[in-house]
Structure 1
Amino acid sequence: MGVLCGLLVWLVLDPIQSRALSEIFQGELELQLDRRARDSRYRFEQYLRQWQIAAHGLSQHWRLVNHVQLPDWESRQLYPKTYIESQPAWLEMGHPMVGSVAPSQVVLLDAKDRVREIFHQQDTPFPVARAAKGYSGRDGAVVTNVWQAPYLIAWATIDDPHGRKRAVLMLVIPIDEQFLLESQQAVTDDGSVVGLLDADRQVLLSSSDEKRVLRNSKLSQWEDNYLVTSQSFTAYEGSDQNIQFATLISRKRVEQTSQRILASERRERLLEAAAFVAVFSLLFFFVSARLNHFLHRISILGRRALNIEQPVQDRGNQLLVLEAWIQDYFQRVGAAQDEVQREHETQIHDSEVLKSTLLDTALDSIITVDSAAKVVEVNATAERTFGFERDHLLGQSITQQLIHTDDRARFRKLLEACRSLPKGASACSPEGFLATDVNGVEKPVECSAVPIYMHEQRLFTLYLRDVSERRKAEREIQSLAKFTSENPSPVLRINNRGVITYANAASEPLLDYWGCELAQTLPLYWRNLVLETLEVGHNREYELASDGQIFSLLLAPIVELGYVNIYGRDITQVRSAEQQSRQHQSELVHVCRVSTMGEMATGLAHELNQPLAAIVNFASGCVRRLQAGIGGEAELVDAMAQITVQAERAGEIIKRLRSLVGKKPHEQILVNLNELVIEVASFVEYEANKRSVEIILDLAGEGLPVKVDLVQIEQVLLNLVRNAIQVLQQVEVSQRRLTLVTCRLDERQVEIQVRDTGPGISPDIMEHLFDAFFSTKESGMGMGLAISRKIIEDHQGDIFVTTELGHGTEFTVILPTDPKLELPGY
């Protein structure tokens, strides 16, 4: 009867509990799979970020920066230079790698995003030009599909010391099996596979285990064996491709785990049912025993009444048979209990192992002591933190071994306070102590004591947390908190209502200028500047002059918090030094102009002599005609008109000389660049003819308006042209050609080129060409090109040179313009 009742309960409850457990397991499984997929994608994106950092770090290396700053780097070759397996000089600092993965191609683009140099790690084809077109003009990285294979392409800008873009570094890294394994190196071996998925075609582009999951295979052929989760990573995704990160988890392992859990639960329910049957059978046994005793007494009374020596058994004693069966059943129940006991002991052992592992991997040092403060147990963290072996600490006083002499009395008070806690109290309040390690090094720790109530004694678990780094961080925070108040420069904070919420002591001159104090509102003009800075969301800089001081104020908006930080800097001395520097530069420029005019004196005298000679001739002719009484009035008027024209021509020459030689304030005016070049060519026309140099003008068909200091730009061009004429004396007369070219680069830049057919410039001279006081002439000061470069930089332009030995040199001057500038008559 007991077995039948147990089986009935088992048949009713088992399907219900199994179904409920299956539903709970499936829900938990979905959460675990989703978490596993997110973790895998996070590690992958972190690995992509490491490549971005590697590309940026390589682009800042001095060897690579110097390489792209060579003057002829962009123009010395028509086609990209390719390195296959042989490492170029600009990679001598080492091939870029992240872990064990290296890029297949390292590419250099010039400032116009054209491919200049390619380093192939292996002799494998790759469409570098196509990859370079994906560059958006900013540093970053993108995951893309090229030739049915995924690649990570990372870009990093290479700037010169002035912050100007000189080149772009591009790394091409194939996302293959090794790349995916490296990105997931922290994942345990749970049978999962990660890869990249073409979401539009549902094709796996790559796999972290190509033996199990083939690349370029359809996703549908793996859905029977794997649970697939795909996720987008928009931060690195190309604009025209839909590539997703896929995580494949083995269905077989998931099902095996589910079966093990259900089997374990079913076994526990079976044991519960067996216990129920045992209890019911025991009750039935006692009832049967009483009934058997009652029947036995009846049998004795019957034998006495009937005077029978032996009992008569017509059909046999069925109760005795039932008793034997129950005894056998109880033996089986005992065996089942033994098995339950063994399983329970196994669970306790596993639990102890788990707890031991948790203690050993805890970040805090955990030490258990008895009421006498002697060590009972320590975890591995305590061994690593203090340097003592576990066997050395066991049985020793923790006070003597670890606690500093100055804090031992306080530590004993902490243990006394824990001993006096009532039973059931959780823990004592944490306190700070100074501990020492095996080498005597002092370590500040925070100690918490938790009492453990056992049958015969009371133990204490001490949690010792090393707070050295926290104390260091607190000191740094305190130091940072004082940073603004200790700053010798003004620092203020203004909220979105224009109220001064903070101002350090150095801000006193600014507060006096504004006529306000802390917690007061700024004047209307500055309040509007603060509001505008918050609206635009980026830094703005202004200057303020007060009582003989000049301050540079940087307004830095913190948009999310609604206030603006103002960082001031006293630039009075800087502005004074800049003024002196400009004055010295102006004087030096003037000296160079006078020197140039002195060198051109012969040509200028010849040019001035021509109109003067014409004037003398025409005047002498008029005198002779008047004395002889010949010639009509018209002829004399015509001769006098020619005298006027030649006089004006001479006056214009003298005016141009005065404008070049005389001192003038720096003033920028609107001029036509073509006319400026023509005027410079006329200055050197005599010298060029004298030296048999042919001057060719190749000017733009349109007017090129620029706003420049006319005298300074004429000086730059005159210096470049005269240098070219002198250099051309080193070649044959038939090859002496000087070409002046003007053109428009874009709507904001125009260009002047001075080309000669001379012998070119050697590399050792090129290295110092623009250095001050460097000259290849015996009588030269060596300041012409240095001053020319400073003049062009002051005009926000650029000047550079390219040369080829035996074929000539080309100086290029780039000047800014504005599409709004208009020339009269154009």
Structure 2
Amino acid sequence: MATLFILTVDMMTGGDGPVAFLYGGVILLLGPLGRRFTVAVGIALAALACTAFCGGHIAVHDLHNSEAALFAVTLLVIGTATLLSIWNQTWRTTLAELARTLELSHDTVIINDQKDLILYWNDGAEILYGWSRQEAVGRSCQELLRTEFPEAEVWRALELRGQWSGDIVRTRRDGNRLILATRWVLRRDVDGRQVGVIESSADLTEQRRADLLIKASEQRYREIFDSAGFAIWESDWTEAIRISCLSRPTEINLRDWLAGNPEIVNAVLASATICNANEAAAILWGAASREALVGLNWNCLFMDCAIEPLARMITALDEGATRVECEVQARALDDRVLDLVLRISVSSADAPWSNLLIMAADVTERNDARRRAEHAHAERAHEARVSMLGQLASSIAHEVNQPLTAIINYGKSAKRFLDRPEPDLRELDVCLEKILSNSTRASDVVARVRGLARKTSPETTPLNLVELIDETIGLIQREAQSHSVTIVRPRSSSIPTIFGDRVQIQQVLINLIMNSIQAMAGTTARSRELRIDMRATAPKFVEVSITDCGGGFPAEREGRIFEPFFSTKAEGMGLGLPICRSIVESHGGSIQARNNSLNGSVVTFTLPCSNQPHSAAAVATIS
């Protein structure tokens, strides 16, 4: 309607009056309806202005220069008004988007005037502080939030730089205190006067609480690290892992490659340095102080025999293990030889291998005590064997006398064959063969007895258990006959080879068989039979059972027969069965004893037949 009125007046005045300038007002009034609409209105109004101008000046001779200039100014006004309207719309849109961004921000945005009264309070402030916009706007920000901040420093920074950043403390509506990282910007009017402050703040409360927890955790770790009663040190293996990775051919397994190249292990250890250590580590390594250990490499601390277990440790870490244990031998800075159990842990928070935590337990005294105990056990086992040989003296004498008697008889026969006018060389050859075979037999008996009697270090070798039992029966046969005991050993097939120390396993067999023979000494109501059975059991074990028909174990003492110094015989010392148990268990087997369901007792022991031999060094179980 307004446009139509302006057009009518414009045409009545010939298009050369100031009424045409009102077209610009129409454009500005309609500007908020949209950019495209504004452009369309501008074009339409320009067309109307042209229509009005042309309608008032039909004859060309009536057109004056001033009127044409006025018409041009009218078009300029319409164009300028259109552009200003579009620019205004753009700024309004931008400001609306900025305002929306402030509302959507998780940070708090507050605008205060010069008197600290709140003019603007965004959604983030509502959520964080607990007051709605209606409740906050118009109130003093300081009184509402009880802000704690360095006031003098803040205003000085605002005066000098127009902004300030730092931490402040405020109180929520529910009374909880908040730690905020804030940024304040000074507001000024067109004349440069201060009119207030715009602030943006982020909640750091949980982050600061987490920082305090981390700091407390680090402090506890440091206190534990420093005050631990065992050696702990931190080591940087970054260069070490680089060497191991770059030097290894890609087609070769790391474990096999390190095993065949100990110089690479030495290079890896030489590049692994100690970064930190506690006092216990300094004492362990014989250093003047913990600082003296910093910078030392592993290669100067560990002996050559530690290369293999350390290579296994490197392989395990390379395969992704986060904790590895190994026992190694090391040399302290004061030349003491140390047996150490190392526990290596990889920190997941740092770069790979950049911070390895090593805990070391000194087991030197424990290993020395173990070696002394093993030596004492070997001494007792030897004494038991010698004592056992004393009990077998008559059997041994019989075993030796038989071949000696045969040698004498065959020697006399050979002499008679030689005394004939025509010596019988064939018979003489037979006699000499018999003499040699019986000499070998006597020599074997003596060798077996010497093997049982001598002191030797345990030696694990593959053993044919069937042959060993037959040999043992040969030594004991005379003793069994003197007690009217019949030894029965059913022929066993498919008995695997076992691994163990020949002398120790034979000692177990002799001890158990002799116990069974002696247990049947008072048996008169039935025949005295001793049975030895063997069979392969799963997984990869051989079981030997020795069954007698004696009086068995007293029911109330059946569970104590393997205790040291416990014996069911009046003259017994109670060491035989405990020694048997320690020998069997040191070989990786087990031993059990029970009463037979009918009469007598059964002693059963197992020995491994795997391809990995067990150490035959018995761990002492007798104090």
**1:512 Cα offset (Å):** 7.2
Residue by residue over 1:300-356, the C-alpha shift from the partner in whole angstroms, topping out at 9 and shown as x without a partner, is xxxxxxxxxxxxxxxxxxxxxxxxxxxxxxxxxxxxxxxxxxxxxxxxxxxxxxxxx
**Does the CA contact (< 8 Å) of 1:557 and 1:565 recur in 2?**
yes
2:223 is the alignment partner of 1:482: yes
Residue by residue over 1:609-662, the C-alpha shift from the partner in whole angstroms, topping out at 9 and shown as x without a partner, is 111111122222333444465751221221122122111111111111111111
Residue aligning to 1:518: 294
One-letter code of the match for 1:705? T
2:510 is the alignment partner of 1:718: yes
2:389 is the alignment partner of 1:597: yes
Residue aligning to 2:330: 545
Q: Secondary structure at the match of 2:537?
A: strand
One-letter code of the match for 1:548? R
**Does the CA contact (< 8 Å) of 1:555 and 1:564 recur in 2?**
no
**Does the CA contact (< 8 Å) of 2:146 and 2:170 recur in 1?**
no
**Does the CA contact (< 8 Å) of 1:615 and 1:643 recur in 2?**
yes
**1:689 Cα offset (Å):** 2.1
- Give the counterpart of 1:757 among 546, 549, 567: 549
One-letter code of the match for 2:281? S
2:400 is the alignment partner of 1:612: no
**Does the CA contact (< 8 Å) of 1:754 and 1:811 recur in 2?**
yes
- Give the counterpart of 2:232 among 477, 491, 494: 491
Identity over the aligned pairs, expressed in percent?
26
Residue aligning to 1:767: 559
**Does the CA contact (< 8 Å) of 2:233 and 2:281 recur in 1?**
yes
**Does the CA contact (< 8 Å) of 2:385 and 2:453 recur in 1?**
yes
2:418 is the alignment partner of 1:658: no
- Change in Cα spacing, 1:771 to 1:536, as seen in structure 2 (3 Å) is farther
Q: Return the alpha-carbon distance in structure 2 between the equivalents of residues 702 and 451 of structure 1.
A: 85
Q: Return the alpha-carbon distance in structure 2 between the equivalents of residues 639 and 693 of structure 1.
A: 34
- Give the counterpart of 1:638 among 402, 415, 430: 430
Q: Secondary structure at the match of 2:509?
A: helix
Q: Which has the higher contact order (CA 8 A, sep 6+)?
A: 2
**1:542 Cα offset (Å):** 2.2
Residue aligning to 1:121: none
Residue aligning to 2:586: 794
Residue by residue over 1:371-398, the C-alpha shift from the partner in whole angstroms, topping out at 9 and shown as x without a partner, is xxxxxxxxxxxxxxxxxxxxxxxxxxxx
Residue aligning to 2:572: 780
Residue aligning to 2:530: 738
2:504 is the alignment partner of 1:728: no
Alignment of 1:414-425 (within 5 A): 422-425=142-145
Q: Return the alpha-carbon distance in structure 1 between the equivalents of residues 327 and 445 of structure 2.
A: 45
Q: Return the alpha-carbon distance in structure 1 between the equivalents of residues 215 and 562 of structure 2.
A: 52
One-letter code of the match for 1:518? V
Q: Return the alpha-carbon distance in structure 2 between the equivalents of residues 807 and 728 of structure 1.
A: 11
- Change in Cα spacing, 1:501 to 1:624, as seen in structure 2 (3 Å) is same
- Change in Cα spacing, 1:750 to 1:486, as seen in structure 2 (3 Å) is same
Q: Return the alpha-carbon distance in structure 2 between the equivalents of residues 729 and 559 of structure 1.
A: 68
Q: Return the alpha-carbon distance in structure 1 between the equivalents of residues 310 and 547 of structure 2.
A: 55
Residue aligning to 1:704: 496
**1:778 Cα offset (Å):** 2.2
Q: Return the alpha-carbon distance in structure 1 between the equivalents of residues 364 and 387 of structure 2.
A: 35
Residue aligning to 1:533: 316
Q: Return the alpha-carbon distance in structure 2 between the equivalents of residues 549 and 501 of structure 1.
A: 23
- Change in Cα spacing, 1:451 to 1:575, as seen in structure 2 (3 Å) is closer
Return the structure number with greater helix share.
Answer: 2
Q: Secondary structure at the match of 1:566?
A: strand
**Which deviates more, 672-681 or 488-497?**
488-497
Q: Secondary structure at the match of 1:666?
A: coil
One-letter code of the match for 1:556? I
Q: Return the alpha-carbon distance in structure 2 between the equivalents of residues 767 and 751 of structure 1.
A: 21
Q: Secondary structure at the match of 1:765?
A: helix
Q: Return the alpha-carbon distance in structure 1 between the equivalents of residues 602 and 325 of structure 2.
A: 40
**Does the CA contact (< 8 Å) of 1:494 and 1:500 recur in 2?**
yes
**Does the CA contact (< 8 Å) of 2:236 and 2:275 recur in 1?**
yes
Alignment of 1:276-291 (within 5 A): none
One-letter code of the match for 2:294? L
CA RMSD of aligned residues (A): 3.6
| Structure-2-length-normalised TM-score | 0.53
Q: Return the alpha-carbon distance in structure 2 between the equivalents of residues 528 and 586 of structure 1.
A: 33
Q: Any unmatched runs of 5+ in structure 2?
A: 1-139, 150-168, 178-211, 239-271, 301-306, 614-623
Q: Secondary structure at the match of 1:698?
A: coil
2:286 is the alignment partner of 1:503: no
| Structure-1-length-normalised TM-score | 0.41
Q: Return the alpha-carbon distance in structure 2 between the equivalents of residues 518 and 663 of structure 1.
A: 48
- Change in Cα spacing, 1:633 to 1:816, as seen in structure 2 (3 Å) is same
Highest Rg: 1 or 2? 2
- Give the counterpart of 2:343 among 555, 558, 579: 555
Q: Return the alpha-carbon distance in structure 2 between the equivalents of residues 493 and 699 of structure 1.
A: 62
Q: Return the alpha-carbon distance in structure 1 between the equivalents of residues 500 and 459 of structure 2.
A: 8
Q: Any unmatched runs of 5+ in structure 1?
A: 1-419, 430-447, 453-459, 464-470, 822-826
Residue by residue over 1:48-104, the C-alpha shift from the partner in whole angstroms, topping out at 9 and shown as x without a partner, is xxxxxxxxxxxxxxxxxxxxxxxxxxxxxxxxxxxxxxxxxxxxxxxxxxxxxxxxx
Q: Return the alpha-carbon distance in structure 2 between the equivalents of residues 652 and 753 of structure 1.
A: 27
How many residue pairs get matched?
A: 369
Q: Return the alpha-carbon distance in structure 2 between the equivalents of residues 555 and 600 of structure 1.
A: 51
**Does the CA contact (< 8 Å) of 1:545 and 1:551 recur in 2?**
yes
- Change in Cα spacing, 1:559 to 1:807, as seen in structure 2 (3 Å) is farther
**1:746 Cα offset (Å):** 3.0
Q: Return the alpha-carbon distance in structure 2 between the equivalents of residues 505 and 683 of structure 1.
A: 61
Residue by residue over 1:510-562, the C-alpha shift from the partner in whole angstroms, topping out at 9 and shown as x without a partner, is 5979x994356644969866542322514221212312331313233336444
**Does the CA contact (< 8 Å) of 2:592 and 2:605 recur in 1?**
yes
**1:713 Cα offset (Å):** 0.7
Q: Return the alpha-carbon distance in structure 2 between the equivalents of residues 553 and 533 of structure 1.
A: 16
Q: Secondary structure at the match of 2:457?
A: coil
Alignment of 1:435-446 (within 5 A): none
Q: Return the alpha-carbon distance in structure 1 between the equivalents of residues 286 and 359 of structure 2.
A: 13
Residue by residue over 1:653-675, the C-alpha shift from the partner in whole angstroms, topping out at 9 and shown as x without a partner, is 11111111111122122211111
Residue by residue over 1:482-520, the C-alpha shift from the partner in whole angstroms, topping out at 9 and shown as x without a partner, is 12212232212334514534322332355979x994356
Residue aligning to 2:244: none
**Does the CA contact (< 8 Å) of 2:540 and 2:608 recur in 1?**
yes
Residue aligning to 1:379: none
One-letter code of the match for 1:507? A
- Change in Cα spacing, 1:638 to 1:516, as seen in structure 2 (3 Å) is farther
Residue by residue over 1:97-152, the C-alpha shift from the partner in whole angstroms, topping out at 9 and shown as x without a partner, is xxxxxxxxxxxxxxxxxxxxxxxxxxxxxxxxxxxxxxxxxxxxxxxxxxxxxxxx
Residue by residue over 1:18-61, the C-alpha shift from the partner in whole angstroms, topping out at 9 and shown as x without a partner, is xxxxxxxxxxxxxxxxxxxxxxxxxxxxxxxxxxxxxxxxxxxx
Q: Return the alpha-carbon distance in structure 1 between the equivalents of residues 536 and 578 of structure 2.
A: 25
Residue aligning to 2:194: none
- Change in Cα spacing, 1:585 to 1:803, as seen in structure 2 (3 Å) is same
